[in-house]
């Protein structure tokens, strides 16, 4: 995207933000990151269903209570991509830049104006017969100094507002991270994985090495839950997630795909390299000696099975994932705790 397009996007985001804040105030909606995301999407028209629902609520004069705001967020924002949060942040940044520039210009203009008048008054003091002019100049100087004081107050207020905006931006960053993170493991969630996969395929150019992926599933995980309970089961899931993280690097990323299933995305990696990564992960997990924290009794050997697929040019994302899943199923069929590469 060109620089001009980026600037236009930022300006649009800032304009939507300027419209959003008064609208939220009018309907007594608290200024939380979640509510910003809802009303920003409403103003921008990104989600026609959300816009229709809020228009209906406004028409019915329905109060926007905390419960209703949460319901709107869960229904229209939380389950969608996180671009709305990014747009709000983009708008905030643009507004911050514009306010900063305006205040700096105002302060500089006031200082320059006062300096010019002071110098002119000094010259006038050296002349005879211009008392009236001198009085006028002094009045103007006093007015200018008042203007400077106003500018200083504006700067002080600006610093306060800057802090507020920075805190809001940090909160939005945390909210975005929560939106793309699996809460149990800290890995990417399924939504974030699909977004990352789309980005990787968008960067993939003809002639380069296509990406690979490895899908993992914990063997006999139901037995772990039935024997030790779900808290131990969660601990095993976190352990597997840590093993994935320790065995990837660079542009690689790991995600919890669902339940006890995981995916590792390996950009620019041939099938042999993806197999090697998967086998290292299997080795790390199978050699671990996990014990219960309460009784110190061993949990028994934990193993995972894996399926590896290499991207085919022009392939649909879900077909790519499905081939890895079929290879994983083959590993389960062949005895578990092994890696199968799709197409071998």
Residue 317: which CATH number? 3.30.70.270
Helix (H, G, I), strand (E, B) or coil at 253: strand
101 shares its domain with 168: yes
Band (104; pLDDT cuts 50, 70, 90): low
Band (8; pLDDT cuts 50, 70, 90): very low
- Dist CA 1 CA 10 (whole Å): 13
243 shares its domain with 108: no
- Dist CA 13 CA 55 (whole Å): 21
Exposed, middle or buried: residue 79 (CB in 10 Å: 0-12, 13-18, 19+)?
Answer: exposed
325 domain-assigned: yes
Domain-ending residue, one of 157, 179, 201: 179
144 shares its domain with 203: no
Band (154; pLDDT cuts 50, 70, 90): low
Using an 8 Å Cβ cutoff, are 50 and 72 in contact? yes
Residues labelled catalytic: 260
174 shares its domain with 195: no
Structural domain count of the chain = 2
166 shares its domain with 117: yes
166 shares its domain with 310: no
Q: What is the DSSP string of 68-101?
A: HHHHHHIIIIITS-THHHHHHHHHHHHHHHHHHH
12 shares its domain with 147: yes
185 domain-assigned: no
CA distances (Å), 6 to each of 3, 35, 60, 211, 258, in order?
A: 5, 25, 38, 28, 36
184 domain-assigned: no
Rounded mean pLDDT, 244-271: 95
- Dist CA 242 CA 262 (whole Å): 11
Domain limits for position 195: 190-341
173 shares its domain with 305: no
75 shares its domain with 130: yes
168 shares its domain with 23: yes
Count helices and strands in the chain by DSSP H and E runs: 11, 5
Instruction: Give the single-character DSSP code of 336.
Output: S
The answer on pLDDT for 34 being more than 80 is: no
Strand arrangement of the beta sheet that strand 261-266 belongs to: 253-258, 261-266, 212-218, 304-310, 339-341
* Sign for the pseudo-dihedral over CA of 246, 252, 258, 260: negative
The pTM assigned to this predicted structure is 0.57
211 shares its domain with 136: no
Rounded mean pLDDT, 1-18: 58
């Amino acid at each position: 995207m060109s620089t001009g397009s980026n600037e236009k996007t930022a300006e649009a985001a800032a304009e939507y933000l300027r419209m959003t804040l008064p609208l939220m105030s009018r309907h007594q909606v608290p200024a939380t990151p979640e509510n910003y995301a809802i009303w920003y999407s409403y103003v921008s028209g990104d989600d026609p269903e959300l816009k229709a629902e809020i228009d209906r609520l406004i028409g019915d004069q329905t109060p926007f209570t905390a419960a209703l705001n949460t319901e709107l967020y869960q229904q229209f924002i939380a389950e969608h991509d996180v671009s709305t949060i990014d747009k709000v942040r983009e708008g905030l940044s643009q507004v911050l830049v514009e306010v900063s520039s305006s205040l700096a210009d105002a302060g500089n203009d006031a200082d320059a104006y006062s300096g010019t008048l002071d110098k002119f008054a000094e010259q006038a003091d050296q002349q005879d017969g211009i008392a009236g002019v001198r009085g006028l100049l002094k009045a103007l100087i006093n007015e200018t100094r008042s203007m400077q004081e106003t500018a200083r107050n504006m700067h002080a207020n600006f610093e306060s507002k800057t802090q507020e905006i920075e805190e809001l931006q940090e909160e939005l960053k945390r909210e975005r991270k929560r939106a793309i993170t699996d809460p149990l493991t800290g890995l990417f969630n399924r939504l974030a994985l699909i977004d990352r996969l789309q980005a990787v395929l968008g960067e993939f150019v003809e002639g380069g090495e296509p990406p690979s992926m490895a899908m993992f599933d914990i063997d006999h995980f139901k037995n772990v839950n039935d024997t030790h309970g779900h808290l131990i089961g969660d601990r095993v899931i976190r352990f597997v997630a840590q093993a994935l993280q320790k065995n990837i690097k660079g542009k690689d990323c790991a995600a919890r795909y669902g339940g006890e299933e995981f995916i590792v995305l390996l950009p620019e990696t041939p099938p042999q390299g993806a197999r090697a990564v998967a086998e290292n992960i299997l080795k790390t997990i199978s050699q671990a000696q996990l014990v219960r924290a309460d009784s110190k009794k061993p949990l028994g050997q934990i193993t995972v099975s894996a399926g590896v697929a290499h991207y085919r040019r022009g392939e649909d994302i879900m077909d790519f994932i499905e081939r890895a899943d079929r290879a994983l199923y083959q590993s389960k069929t062949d005895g578990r705790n092994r890696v199968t590469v799709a197409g071998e």
